[in-house]
Amino acid sequence: MTLTLSASARLLAASLCLVGAHAAAQGTIKIGEINSYKALPQNLVPYKQGWLLAQEEINAAGGVLGGRKLETVFRDDNGNPGDAVRMAEELLAREKVDILSGVTLSHVGLALTDFAKQKKTFFLASGPLSDKVVWDNGNRYTYRLRSGTYALSASVIGEAVKLKKKRWALVYPNYEYGQAAVAAFKENMKKAQPDVEFVAEQSPPLGKIDAGAVVQALADAKPDAIFNVMFGSDLTKLAREGKTRGLFEGREVVSLLTGEPEYLDPLKDDAPANWIVTGYPYASIDTPEHKAFLAAYQKKYNDYPRLNSVVGYATVKAIAAGIQKAGSTDTEKLIVAFKGLQFDSPFGPVVFRPQDNQSTLGIFVGRTAVKDGKGVMPSGTYLDGAKLQPAEEQIRKLRNPS
């Protein structure tokens, strides 16, 4: 059989198309990750380590969609919403990423939530705590992995009520996260303990606490207990000044985030003992999922994980599961796939709730201790994130205001 030149050319073209299609099928899937690496190194070095561990595991197991490997392009938002949006534009236009993910700071998360809506592109927010990301400003393109401010506050209510303390003082950073955390704490405490009184509030600017003045004002109010939302360097200053002045002696303290190694480690032996906290008791979580994660993390990095290690790791696992379920990286298909998506995390199975695109990744609540000159959270009770949310009707109103 003799082929004409044009027939040969057509066959060659067809074969090249098949080769190209096969190459595309085997090509990497690019994730654009945006976060505050320079501004929050204590959070984001562990986060990136967890992220890369998960990506390595997925790729070693054959990748997704029949062999496609994950690749991540990391960008720093400098803790600035404008920079984050510029990075997102660059990742989509120049790097041709398939998915956007990341963010720790709430105001940056809100900026990228709006960007995803405007650009009609899928965005998995890994860690911003503002619930506006999935409620007030939520949209069909944006999902969130970590439990938010309302769930954090709700998680400690059970232990706070058990204390049977009437007079509470409140201390929180004066921006959206702190304000929302205190509002949720007040709302839930009043429901659970109607006679509760809030006798003092101190709300210094984020990163600018005058610890001496704040501690004195709290002491002057003579509260029975204190609800603290300060974190980072503000927490360090508050804890040290409060210890020096005896603010915490004979008083119960309920504190968000303080049990995370990221915030306990800098305090060293000034870490508060016996505070009720949310956090990460990594050494005592006795589940197969967490044991496997802990062993792999320690083997790779010769270090213990922080909570942000779990957040980074679980974000990549969620992305891989969503792509696999969608059979594609197409935005519309990912939106459908993530509705009710279940995936495995170091904390066990997690589901993305169809009603608000929020995952059910839970929260550990326990007490702090000081051991060998270092603050630790020796143990904790895990609370399912699905059980820490407001009523369905309230969420519907927030997502669809009339």
Q: How many of the other CB atoms lie within 10 Å of CB of 40?
A: 18
Q: From 3.40.720.10, 2.60.120.330, 3.40.50.2300, 3.40.50.150, which CATH number describes the 24-147+286-362 domain?
A: 3.40.50.2300
- What are the pLDDT digits (tens) for 330-349? 999 999 999 999 999 999 99
Name the average pLDDT for the chain: 93
Distance CA 296, CA 304 (A): 10
Whose tokens are 């659970």? That residue is 192
Nearest to 113 by CA among 93, 88, 90: 88
Report, as an integer, the average pLDDT of 179-200: 97
The share of the chain scoring above pLDDT 90, in percent, equals 90
pLDDT of residue 400: 77
Q: Which two tokens stand for residue 11?
A: 């066959």
Q: Which residue has the higher pLDDT, 38 or 11?
A: 38
User: Regarding beta strands 381-383 and 142-144, do their DSSP bridges make them parallel or antiparallel, or are they unpaired?
Assistant: unpaired
Please report, for the chain, the start and end positions of each structural domain, with discontinuous segments joined by +: 24-147+286-362, 152-284+365-387
Residue 6 pLDDT level (bands cut at 50, 70, 90) = low
Distance CA 102, CA 391 (A): 27
pLDDT of residue 73: 98
Nearest to 260 by CA among 234, 279, 285, 275: 279
Distance CA 93, CA 88 (A): 9
Distance CA 204, CA 216 (A): 13
In the predicted model, is pLDDT for residue 198 greater than 90? yes
Report, as an integer, the average pLDDT of 23-46: 88
Residue type, 359: S
pLDDT of residue 24: 41
pLDDT of residue 399: 87
In the predicted model, is pLDDT for residue 395 greater than 80? yes
- What are the pLDDT digits (tens) for 165-188? 999 999 999 988 999 999 999 999
Same fold, 24-147+286-362 and 152-284+365-387: yes
User: Three-state SS for 265?
Assistant: helix
Q: How many of the other CB atoms lie within 10 Å of CB of 88?
A: 24
User: Angle CA(262)–CA(267)–CA(271) in degrees, nearest 5?
Assistant: 105
Whose tokens are 């027939």? That residue is 7
In the predicted model, is pLDDT for residue 9 greater than 90? no
- What are the pLDDT digits (tens) for 369-390? 999 999 999 999 999 999 999 9
Q: Which two tokens stand for residue 164?
A: 């049977």
pLDDT of residue 243: 95
**Dihedral of the alpha carbons of 317, 318, 319, 323, in degrees to the nearest 10:** 100
Based on the number of CB atoms within 10 Å of its own CB, is 362 exposed (0-12), middle (13-18) or buried (19 or more)?
buried
Report, as an integer, the average pLDDT of 61-73: 98
Q: Where are the beta strands (DSSP E) in 288-391?
A: 342-345, 348-351, 363-367, 369-371, 374-376, 381-383
In the predicted model, is pLDDT for residue 14 greater than 90? no
pLDDT of residue 19: 38
- What are the pLDDT digits (tens) for 112-134? 999 999 999 999 999 999 999 99
In the predicted model, is pLDDT for residue 392 greater than 60? yes
Half-sphere exposure of 55 (CA within 13 A, CB side): 18
- What are the pLDDT digits (tens) for 134-149? 999 999 999 999 999 9
The share of the chain scoring above pLDDT 70, in percent, equals 93
Domain 152-284+365-387: give its CATH code: 3.40.50.2300
Based on the number of CB atoms within 10 Å of its own CB, is 161 exposed (0-12), middle (13-18) or buried (19 or more)?
middle
Query: What one-character DSSP code corresponds to residue 301?
Result: H
